Amino acid sequence: EVQLVESGGGLVQPGGSLRLSCAASGFTFGNYWIYWVRQAPGKGLVCVSHINWDGSATTYADSVRGRFTISRDNAKNTLYLQMNSLRVEDTAVYYCAREMSSAGSGPRMDSWGQGTLVTVSS
Amino acid sequence: DIQMTQSPSSLSVSVEDRVTITCRASQSIGRNLNWYQEKPGKAPKLLIFAASSLQSGVPSRFSGGGSGTDFTLTISSLQPEDFATYYCQQSYSTPRTFGQGTKVEIK
């Protein structure tokens, strides 16, 4: 069974740091692009960052570029999101999601973790 | 970045109603369009990928259509468990972007 389990969320003051983790199991982790997607309270889904199979390519939303860093350890089947200089507006549930792509069909996020809540507040 | 616009933002419907949600991309994305269902406190769930392909395990009352810039998600006969928020998402280019969501509520 494919599983993604996030951890590392919590309450942090503005300007602080947190490191999120996403532990994967049930599939060959290194074969997939993985995304961090967040949902602020009462808001929609936003892709924060993504990383390719071996970590050689990453993207970031403008709102987090320069503050967040995505990485992965394929030997440990784990994805990370280092979040620095946190702002109140970073408060959200953060999900990791696997992107599946097959011949003849476009990419899609077919498996998601349960999410971890990050609250930035003084 | 490709902008995704959904309409309506919300709708009030009754069980067994037919529901159609539309999604428009700011540029042509071929058929690289996915639909997700989200319920409070739960992770989003993939319903439709590649505009019209039904994800395994999703009931056949869900269907998708369209290509280029205009897409639809249709629920043929709304069931009680379908009251949720629905999002479209383009997978044509990075960054992946979502529509703002359509909340389907009980009338």
Nearest to B65 by CA among B21, B26, B2: B21
CA distance A67 to chain B (A): 17
**Cα(B20)–Cα(B60) distance, integer angstroms:** 15
pLDDT tops 90 at residue A119? yes
**Cα A78–A97–A1 angle (5° rounding)?**
75
Question: CB contact, 8 Å: A110 with chain B?
Answer: yes
> Quick one: pLDDT band at residue A103, thresholds 50, 70, 90?
confident
CA distance B67 to chain A (A): 12
**Do A114 and B43 make contact, defined as CB atoms within 8 angstroms?**
yes
Q: Helix, strand, or coil here: A91?
A: coil
pLDDT of residue A104: 79
Nearest to B98 among A44, A106, A107 (CB): A44
Q: Do β-strands B45-49 and B33-38 pair in parallel, antiparallel, or remain unpaired?
A: antiparallel
DSSP state of A88: G
Helices (H) then strands (E): counts for chain B: 0, 11
Q: Do β-strands A105-112 and A92-102 pair in parallel, antiparallel, or remain unpaired?
A: antiparallel
Find the farthest-apart pair of alpha carbons in chain B and give their distance in angstroms, rounded.
37
**Do B95 and A45 make contact, defined as CB atoms within 8 angstroms?**
no
**Cα(B74)–Cα(A39) distance, integer angstroms:** 24
Question: pLDDT tens, A18-36?
Answer: 999 999 999 999 999 999 9
**Cα(B20)–Cα(A15) distance, integer angstroms:** 43
**Do A110 and B87 make contact, defined as CB atoms within 8 angstroms?**
no
Nearest to A44 among B46, B92, B101 (CB): B101
Question: CB contact, 8 Å: B87 with chain A?
Answer: yes
Share of chain B above pLDDT 70, in %: 100
Question: pLDDT tens, B2-23?
Answer: 999 999 999 999 999 999 999 9
| Cβ-based contacts of A99 with chain B (< 8 Å) | 91
Rg of chain A (C-alpha set): 14
Mean pLDDT of B27-32: 97
DSSP state of B76: S
Mean pLDDT of A96-111: 92
**Do B50 and A105 make contact, defined as CB atoms within 8 angstroms?**
yes
Residues 79-108 (A) with a CB less than 8 A from some CB of B: 95, 97, 99, 105-108
> Quick one: pLDDT band at residue A105, thresholds 50, 70, 90?
confident
Q: What's at B6, amino acid-wise? A: Q
Nearest to A50 by CA among B30, B91, B17, B24: B91
Mean pLDDT of A41-63: 96
**Cα(A65)–Cα(A62) distance, integer angstroms:** 5
**Cα(B76)–Cα(B69) distance, integer angstroms:** 23
Are the C-beta atoms of residues B59 and B53 closer than 8 Å to each other? no
**Do B101 and A45 make contact, defined as CB atoms within 8 angstroms?**
yes
Are the C-beta atoms of residues B2 and B25 closer than 8 Å to each other? yes
